[in-house]
Amino acid sequence: MPRRILVTGGAGFIGSNFVHYLVANTDDAVTVLDKFTYAGNEASLAGLPEDRVSVVRGDVCDAALVDPLVAAADAVVHYAAESHNDNSLQDPRPFVDTNIIGTYTLLEAVRRHGTRFHHISTDEVYGDLELDAPERFTERTPYNPSSPYSSTKAGSDLLVRAWVRSFGVRATISNCSNNYGPRQHVEKFIPRQITNILCGQRPKLYGAGANVRDWIHADDHSSAVLRIIEAGRIGETYLIGADGERDNRAVLESILTAMGQPADAYDRVADRPGHDLRYAIDSTKLREELGWRPAFQDFARGLLATIDWYRGNEDWWRPQKAATEAKYRELGR
């Protein structure tokens, strides 16, 4: 039977990709709850069938709004979050409000109504790893967040675990590595470089570009989340990754090469404050327990598909670009 899925933050990057994935791969009806901050974009939901996808503009901290939406849902998938590290250093308060209070508000609603809950989190709650270390994050890695963003996400994870244990809430958690793909705001590393090149500007590399991220295509993240909702064990945490470790310089040079530019046609800018060295995900539990596999195991293929999307959707990202670059210029990046 088709389910009724409430997706918070469903107009953001990974949230909107999940909504598109649900529409394409299930018969579920979807309600999107989104505050439509700068990171939420109505255009990210354009073209979806109106008989299956409805959109509610509002804040996850608004208990009176959240409660009836949760009551009407079979499952809540909680993507809504303030997620940009640089912004959290400038003003931590929105991160505390959305990531902590918003998650608390949803947990109380699913507690009242017995609704299934899945919480989307990040590998940044674990801190970072040494560049030349063999270790990767697992579900048993201790939390060691290093920014207001990652600390508020760590706090929200702990709230979910407490509500499972204390109140019997039917919840799961996933911590994912860095996503890339369609509909990602141009403030983020990969779309910023792609759109700079499309605008005839030289892309920017933070510091030496040695920082390593474990990249996963947003469609693979979506398929993993759906698998966890369908078969994940209540109270469990699953790490989602696609073995996509690459340093920032290698990623930027791959983008330049794929777009017909010299691999060294970029400028170095000041590094980000407190820039974590390396993230790396061990997704063995997800793969062995739930049988999940990423479709984009070839990063180069996923990157080409992402470049093609930005080439073909300038009307989606152009309105964001000038203000984003002006902000980076103020920061010297």
Active site residues: 123-124, 149
Q: How far apart are CA 106 and CA 151, in angstroms?
A: 19
Instruction: List 192's β-bridge partners, or say none.
Output: none
Element (H, E) at 256: helix 248-258
Tokens of 214: 């474990």
User: How many of the other CB atoms lie within 10 Å of CB of 285?
Assistant: 16
Contact call for residues 175 and 137 (beta carbons, < 8 A): yes
Contact call for residues 18 and 75 (beta carbons, < 8 A): no
Place of tokens 């009806």: 29
Element (H, E) at 148: helix 148-167
Contact call for residues 17 and 218 (beta carbons, < 8 A): yes
Distances (CA, A) of 90 to 93, 145, 280: 9, 17, 27
Q: How far apart are CA 7 and CA 31, in angstroms?
A: 6
Q: How far apart are CA 116 and CA 152, in angstroms?
A: 22
Instruction: List 48's β-bridge partners, or say none.
Output: none
